[in-house]
């Protein structure tokens, strides 16, 4: 083979690799490159051990006996997956219904904007993002409403990522991020004009504990909206396939047991909220939220090959391949949950904190 043929072959291979890895790229590139994948706040040499500990803890989510350890393992989970989520999915770690004629990015933004529209806030109002991740929803909501958004996440690595993105987007004057546990929030009583949570409170061992904290920090008369992960009326606890699907979702998403849709409003009322509206946003005429997961299967294999190569070369931490494989298995369970209709990640509940204290929540003394 002459030198020209060798050159052409090499150029063709190089162009093919560039197209495969860069043009096709991950599902959505959002400021995180494959060569920068890390274990968050976990040092590279401890990623695999932390993954094994996480997987052992969440092996049977509903049988977890040490609920007080759940926040620590949720923190571990987000150290393990944040870079992969951001690289392969985007900065908004949640689902949204497909919208005809709209990109996934636009559909996601509309889903986020709807949340803040529901709580009826004004520019300059101070609102709370309960479980803000790296701040994708926070930035969309701040830009849309011009409200001041304060986000809380248990994961310090996500705090740093969110602050970086806020500054890059020119929204750091409207977006604040606090590291903390939303079961024990470091905010005064009656200090927010509204609040929202987008697919975040599912990590709480007891929903009433996080709802009670949101109730405490809201000003009287203010609204709170939450998009909840729940099992639907189609879920049958005596159906082995249904049980396997739900357990697969729980294990791969750090959930200490999915709740039933019937539990949500009951819990909100228990802590003192008035329930204004409740609706599964995934029901028709909404288009399937899991379409993006099905479309992303080719992207997964492409990304998995790249991560495997980077891990073998020592660029990505050892254990990243295991984490990525876990997320793919979980995506399959999520897709099955959507196809069967037994699971929804967007059961919406809109609540109001009464103007006057209820018997359940009398004023604090002293």
346, 202 in Cβ contact below 8 A?
no
- Pick from 83, 117, 147: which is nearest to 303 by CA? 83
User: Could you read off the pLDDT of 154-203 as tens digits, one per residue?
Assistant: 999 999 999 999 999 999 999 999 999 999 999 999 999 999 999 999 99
Do 20 and 302 contact (CB within 8 A), yes or no?
A: yes
Residues 304-316 have pLDDT tens digits of 898 999 999 999 9
Helix (H, G, I), strand (E, B) or coil at 259: strand
Average pLDDT of the residues in 139-148:
98
In sequence order, what E strands does 139-280 have? 148-153, 175-179, 192-198, 218-231, 259-260, 274-280
What share of the chain in percent tops pLDDT 90?
Answer: 75
User: What was the pLDDT predicted at 17?
Assistant: 52
Residue 57: band (very low, low, confident or very high) from pLDDT cuts 50, 70, 90: confident
Q: 217 near 336, Cβ under 8 Å?
A: no
> Do 104 and 28 contact (CB within 8 A), yes or no?
yes
Distance of CA 182 to the CA centre of its chain: 14
Q: What residues are paired with 349 via a beta bridge?
A: 226, 278
Distance from C-alpha of 218 to C-alpha of 226, rounded to nearest angstrom: 14
Sorted by sequence, the CB contacts under 8 Å of residue 189 that are 6+ apart come out as 216, 217, 364
Beta bridge partners of 177: 151
CA distances from 21 to 11, 12, 312, 314, 318 (A): 15, 14, 17, 18, 21
pTM of this prediction?
0.89
317: tokens are 């931490």
DSSP track, 316-342 = SPTTHHHHHHHHHHHHHHHHHHHHHTS
Helix H or strand E encompassing 78:
helix 70-88
């Amino acid at each position: 083979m002459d030198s020209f043929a060798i050159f052409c072959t090499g150029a063709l291979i190089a162009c093919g690799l560039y197209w495969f890895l860069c043009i096709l790229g991950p599902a959505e590139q959002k400021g995180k490159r494959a060569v920068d994948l890390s274990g968050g706040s976990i040092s590279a040499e401890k990623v695999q051990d932390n993954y094994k500990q996480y997987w052992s803890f969440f092996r049977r989510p509903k049988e977890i006996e040490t609920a007080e350890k759940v926040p620590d393992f949720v923190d571990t989970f987000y150290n393990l997956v944040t870079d992969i989520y951001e690289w392969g999915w985007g900065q908004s770690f949640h689902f949204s219904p497909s919208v005809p004629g709209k990109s996934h990015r636009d559909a996601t933004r509309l889903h986020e904007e709807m949340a803040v529209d529901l709580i009826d806030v004004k520019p300059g109002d101070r609102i709370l993002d309960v479980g803000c991740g790296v701040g994708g929803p926070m930035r969309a909501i701040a830009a849309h409403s011009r409200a001041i958004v304060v986000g809380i996440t248990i994961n310090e690595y996500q705090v740093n990522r969110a602050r970086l993105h806020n500054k890059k987007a020119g929204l750091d004057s409207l977006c604040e991020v606090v590291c903390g546990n939303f079961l024990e929030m470091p905010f005064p009583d009656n200090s927010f004009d509204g609040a929202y949570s987008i697919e975040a409170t599912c990590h709480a061992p007891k929903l009433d504990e996080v709802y009670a904290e949101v109730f405490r920090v809201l000003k009287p008369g203010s609204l709170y909206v939450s998009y909840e992960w729940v099992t639907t009326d189609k879920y049958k606890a005596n159906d082995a396939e249904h049980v396997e699907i739900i357990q697969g979702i729980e294990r791969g998403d750090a959930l200490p047991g999915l709740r039933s849709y019937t539990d949500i409003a009951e819990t909100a009322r228990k802590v003192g909220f008035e329930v204004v509206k409740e609706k599964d946003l995934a029901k028709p005429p909404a288009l399937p939220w899991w379409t993006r997961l099905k479309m992303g299967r080719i992207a997964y294999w492409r990304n998995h090959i790249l991560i495997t190569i980077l891990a073998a070369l020592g660029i990505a931490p050892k254990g990243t391949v295991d984490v990525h494989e876990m997320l793919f298995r979980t995506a399959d369970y999520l897709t099955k949950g959507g196809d069967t209709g037994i699971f929804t990640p967007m059961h919406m509940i809109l609540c109001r904190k009464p103007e006057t204290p209820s018997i359940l929540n009398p004023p604090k003394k002293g």
